[in-house]
Amino acid sequence: MDGRLTRTRARRSYHPTITLDTGVLECVPEFVYLGSPVTKDNDCSAEINRRINLASQRLGMLTSSSELNIRTKIDLLVACVFSRLLYAAETRIIKATDSRKLLAFEMRCYRRYSKCVGKTK
């Protein structure tokens, strides 16, 4: 194990001191693991906002094409946009506000393709 590249994360008030041959490992409050940030308090709101922005960029690429029919666009929406949005979602603890954000983004995507204006219930 390379001590120069390895870090540890503290859990609440417990800060372990881990020593290797090369020295003591640094204890950090958050780090990126498999593309997603892992924080001390396991708050994933920032990651969900980041994922919504990434999915919005993909959505912009798909909606610019006028040559595709609505069914193909929805299939691409599910395959390309929602997969980017929900990547590793099963590992997150999602709050009610984050759940509402995800649902609002999904509905916005469908409204964009169906060309609905305003809020529909």
Domain ranges of the chain: 7-39, 45-114
pLDDT at 117 over 50: no
* Separation CA 6–CA 109 (nearest Å): 40
Q: What pLDDT is recorded for position 120?
A: 52
* Separation CA 120–CA 70 (nearest Å): 19
Q: What pLDDT is recorded for position 85?
A: 87
* Separation CA 107–CA 97 (nearest Å): 15
Q: What is the pLDDT of residues 10-34, one digit of tens each?
A: 666 666 777 777 777 777 777 777 7
Q: Compute how many other C-beta atoms are within 10 angstroms of the C-beta atom of residue 6.
A: 12
pLDDT at 114 over 80: no
Average pLDDT in the 54-81 region?
Answer: 83
* Separation CA 103–CA 98 (nearest Å): 9
| Confidence class for position 100, pLDDT limits 50, 70, 90 | very high
pTM above 0.95, yes or no: no
Which has more pLDDT, 32 or 76?
A: 76
